[in-house]
Structure 1
Amino acid sequence: MNIMTEQLPISIQVSDNLIVEISHIAAISNKLEAQLNFHTMTANWYGDEDNMLEINFFLLCVNELEHYEKSSDSDFNNEFLADDVMITLSLAKLVDCYVAITESELLLLQKTPKLLSGYLGKKLTKVLNLIAERYDLEKI
């Protein structure tokens, strides 16, 4: 039996610290990863396989974002899209997106866990649409 292990164009990784703060965020992130890959596919982001964009989301606590900013390799171009969103662009078609959950967001999501899925979906879609503008892709 052959199992397909090819990496999807969009991946979401959650920091251990954020998993401690919001226990079910990993499961929700897995579902969201599938949804975002589907939405970008239907928006024809992957029509040219040789020119395909790969996006890695890293969901973090807000204090972790500063660590990533300081430890980033100088060969890459860091850019803040918002106070809580930093992207790193490499020469290849690879975009690393560091998305922090702010203190106020964390309090809200801990108090009302059912908001997490919709909230994260909106936040990551907003970032994807900013990336879409940059790479002249259809917004989702």
Structure 2
Amino acid sequence: MTEQLPIAIMPGNDLLEKFTQIKSVCNKLEAQFNFQTLTANWYGDENNILLINLYLETQQFVDEEITKAHQEEISYFADDVFSVYQKEHQQVKCFIAITPAELILLAQEKKLLPRYIQVKLHKVLNLIATKLTLPHI
């Protein structure tokens, strides 16, 4: 039985269809970010572990998600990134859009995808860290 890691990266179906390597890129980054946050002491209290779900989606999906009624605390980090914090569950759901312009660039230059996603998600995790007063990674 496998236990869920604190940080999960989930690319949307539209992105999975468009970029064949995105799932493996996300799996590698998931391992990397879980290790970095562990060494930065994000999980000091084992009974109270913060779970972070990073949803990598198209801009259209993120725009639709923004319009849904969320009862939790919402933070808008940018036009293409927002998060929903469920304090009672110690969980952050973060929706990150790959904009139409970014999709065009990444489709033309597929070799940019791994580094691009790494930089974007790293920035988002540090925004979450600032919001929750955790050390940056």
Aligned counterpart, 2:19:
22
5+ residue gaps, structure 1: none
1-structure distance, mates of 2:75, 2:126: 15
Q: Deviation per CA, 1:45-99, whole angstroms, max 9, x where unpaired?
A: 11211332110000101111111112243x2122210110010011231100000
Question: Is the alpha carbon distance of 1:58 and 1:38 closer, same or farther for their aligned partners in structure 2, counting shifts above 3 Å?
Answer: same
Equivalences for residues 1-140 of structure 1 within 5 A: 3=1, 5-73=2-70, 75-92=71-88, 93-140=90-137
Identity of aligned residues (%): 43
Normalised to the residue count of structure 1, the TM-score between the two structures is 0.91
1-structure distance, mates of 2:100, 2:69: 23
1-structure distance, mates of 2:69, 2:52: 17
5+ residue gaps, structure 2: none
Instruction: Give 3-state SS (helix, strand or coil) of 2:34's partner.
Output: helix
1-structure distance, mates of 2:33, 2:69: 26
Report the AA paired with residue 89 of structure 1: Y
Q: Is the 8 A contact 1:69 1:78 kept in 2?
A: no
Runs of 4+ that moved beyond 4 A: none
Aligned-residue Cα RMSD (Å) equals 1.2
**Number of aligned pairs?**
136
Normalised to the residue count of structure 2, the TM-score between the two structures is 0.93
2-structure distance, mates of 1:133, 1:119: 21
Question: Is the alpha carbon distance of 1:72 and 1:14 closer, same or farther for their aligned partners in structure 2, counting shifts above 3 Å?
Answer: farther
